[in-house]
Amino acid sequence: MKQSHLYTKTRKTLPSGEVAKNAQLLIKAGYIHKELAGVYAFLPLGIRVMNKIEDLIRSHMDKIGGQEILLSSLQDPELWKKNNRWDDDDVDIWFKDRDERIGFAWSHEEPMISMIEHHVSSYKDLPVYVYQFQNKFRNEPRAKSGLLRGREFIMKDLYSFTKNQDELDEFYRKITDAYKEIFNVAGIGDQTYYTFASGGAFTEFSHEFQTLSDAGEDTIYIDRDKKIAINEEVYSKEIVKELGLDEKKLEKVKSIETGNIFKFGTGYSEKLNLKYKDADGKDQFVYLGSYGIGLSRLMATVVEVLSDDGGIVWPESISPFQVHLIELTEGLGEDLYQKLLDNNIEVLYDDRQIGAGEKFNDADLIGIPWRLVVSEKTDGKVEIKNRSEKSAQLITKDEAIKKFI
């Protein structure tokens, strides 16, 4: 894409009250636009990152047998009443329409169970793993963390329907590995801890994926060697012992919850009456689990954790483009731009007629991992630099193309 065609520009001014680093950088670089507190639009660069994150998560969910669907945002209060999750006293983040005959989805367990009833009746139909990328609406009172805590955000939520505890446990292990791989590929694997958290009424623990960051709202106790953490909310001497950890080795740190996985067992199925017939024709309750990753929160976490003074630093996996091609003399990049496109390399081509300093500053702010510069000085060759390194190399155009194929 030619940067002269991209309608968004980098910005120096910020909306009033925007204190979160992730939102500040993403707004300045032209990825997002603030609409309301905790409500952001995705601009052309931003939607490219979101699509990359979506594709990354989708490929891992498909690999473990997930089937993609899309439930609605408008929800039936009757489904939630059955499970005691409609009243504001029970769930305090509902957006409801004026007459309270419609709820706006903050989660999807209840409608998911209602839908699955029409397609699952026998043990032969199980297990089933269903997921979606869906808007969630949460009337958060404290929406000051940019994309980390939005009142509207896109989430991947997967629900597992299994015949028994063993099948649930087996899938839980599989999706744990899938989540670890997703955070690795997204560049925050080293900073992300498998964390023991509250299991609510259903199970001893749920598990969170917590990424170390001062911008986080969570506090966890981490064991850096074992790469395990305990959320403050369940932290106790007994649990430290139960997990075989040494209290003295644990560090108390701030972190961002980038993922969470949860076993419900048969709790929800009993309340909502989701059953299947086993091989003997006997009714059994279905075992449930739910597994979430917020896409925009993941995007914000990467910005919080990997950025530097110059701006954003994307990992290659979720960068809006593979390459940022900058020409310092009008028209000099055109030839290489076409060759990159011909080889299906995603390239943002800065063909604007502005100074070199402004171009380099914008490139650092936007954060594409590889920068290519062509100018009269590069003499038919091209200067290549990684976003996180200081020094550049001069290589031929063919070498540049080969690098990104």
Interface residues toward a second copy, by CB under 8 A: 5-9, 11, 30, 33, 35-36, 39-44, 46-47, 50, 65, 67-76, 95-98, 100, 102, 104, 111, 114-116, 118-120, 125, 128, 130, 135, 137, 139, 151-152
Which residue type occupies 328?
Answer: L
CA distances from 348 to 325, 329, 333, 336 (A): 6, 16, 11, 12
- Name the residue nearer to a second copy (CB basis): 111 or 294: 111
- Name the residue nearer to a second copy (CB basis): 49 or 382: 49
- Name the residue nearer to a second copy (CB basis): 49 or 253: 49
**Segment holding 44, helix H or strand E:** helix 44-63
Q: How far apart are CA 379 and CA 202, in angstroms?
A: 67
- Name the residue nearer to a second copy (CB basis): 112 or 228: 112
Q: How far apart are CA 269 and CA 318, in angstroms?
A: 37
Shortest distance, position 124 Cβ to a second copy, whole Å:
9
Note the maximum CA span of the chain: 79
- Name the residue nearer to a second copy (CB basis): 114 or 219: 114
Shortest distance, position 229 Cβ to a second copy, whole Å:
33
DSSP 294: E
Whether the CA torsion 222, 227, 230, 231 is positive or negative: it is positive
- Name the residue nearer to a second copy (CB basis): 46 or 292: 46
Neighbours of 41 (CB within 10 A): 12
Q: Which of 267, 387, 258, 372 is nearest to 323 (CA)?
A: 372
Q: How far apart are CA 317 and CA 338, in angstroms?
A: 23
Shortest distance, position 101 Cβ to a second copy, whole Å:
9
DSSP assignment of 312-348 equals ----GGG-S-SEEEEESSTTTTHHHHHHHHHTT--EE
Q: How far apart are CA 254 and CA 239, in angstroms?
A: 19
Kindly state the tokens that stand for 231.
């959320």
Shortest distance, position 221 Cβ to a second copy, whole Å:
36
Shortest distance, position 58 Cβ to a second copy, whole Å:
11
Shortest distance, position 333 Cβ to a second copy, whole Å:
20
Q: What is the C-alpha R_g of the chain? A: 24
Shortest distance, position 14 Cβ to a second copy, whole Å:
11
Shortest distance, position 82 Cβ to a second copy, whole Å:
15
- Name the residue nearer to a second copy (CB basis): 112 or 305: 112
- Name the residue nearer to a second copy (CB basis): 136 or 207: 136
